Every structure is written in structure tokens, then in C-alpha cells.
Amino acid sequence: MRGSALPAVCATLILAACMSTSLQADQPARITGSTPESRAELQRAVSEALHVSEVNLADDALRHSSWLVIERSRVRSLENAPLSGRDLGRPERFQLVVADHRCVLVHERDGRRYELAGVACVTE
């Protein structure tokens, strides 16, 4: 059901993407504490940004760094090497920032912003 059952929160996220907070005012931040709800909120924001139903995230995502890096899931071949092994591309990156006392996830590639409701964060 990929892409066909976006949660209601996406509407909020889309609106959040239009927030006009200046990037210059952003302060890099980390998530403090982690609850199932906050992890779900982060999961929803990243999935929305990348148009996927789910992204496999660590439980401590964004707790140790303001940056979140997303790659293709990796699989090894018979030789157990990554199937590409010589990847010329770049991963997707997000940065968590504090903006107007809110935790906001910024997608580096397109600059779109996603407020993380119910997530606690502090500046780095």
C-alpha cells in the first residue's frame, strides 16, 4: 500500500513544509529522550519527505547528531559485497533544527521543512 495511505499527519506536515522560518535562525538540534510517539513522528516526517511508506530508522536517530543520513537499504551479493559497491551518488540528508522553539526537520536536498510535533529537542 505504498504511497496510498498517507497518515493524516501528512497534511500537517505539508503545511509545516511551507513554514517561513528563516534558515539563518535555525539552530542545529538533537532529540532529547525518545518515546514510541516521538519515534513514530520522526518516521512519519522522513517517510513523507521521501515519499515512502517506511524508512528503517534507529531508535536513537537524531539523539547524537543533528544530522540524519538515509541510504538505500543494503544487500550483499553472493560475494557478499554491496551489489553496487562503487556508488557514485549521495545519500539523503536531514537536519534537525530548533526554530521558533519548535523542532523542525529540514530536508537538505529541497529545503522542505517538517515540524516534529510532540518531539523534544535541544540545540547542539
Q: Provide the residue type at 82 as one letter.
A: P
Please state, in angstroms and rounded to a whole number, the distance separating the CA atoms of residues 67 and 31. Answer: 11
Helix (H, G, I), strand (E, B) or coil at 42: helix
Give φ, ψ of 29 to 5 degrees.
-140, 165
**Binding-site size, another protein (CB under 8 A):** 44
Cβ at position 15, least distance to another protein in Å: 17
Work out the end-to-end distance of the chain between its first and last CA atoms, rounded to an integer number of angstroms.
37
Smallest distance from the beta carbon of 79 to another protein, in angstroms? 4
Gap between the Cα atoms of 98 and 27, Å rounded? 5
**Which of positions 46-105 make contact with another protein (CB under 8 A)?**
50-53, 55-61, 65-93
Residues 1-30 that bind another protein (CB under 8 A): 2-4
Query: Which grid coordinates are listed for 82?
Result: 554491496
CB of 2 to another protein, least distance (A): 5
Q: Tell me whether residue 20 or residue 80 sits nearer to another protein (CB atom).
A: 80
Q: Give the binding site for another protein (CB under 8 A).
A: 2-4, 50-53, 55-61, 65-93, 109
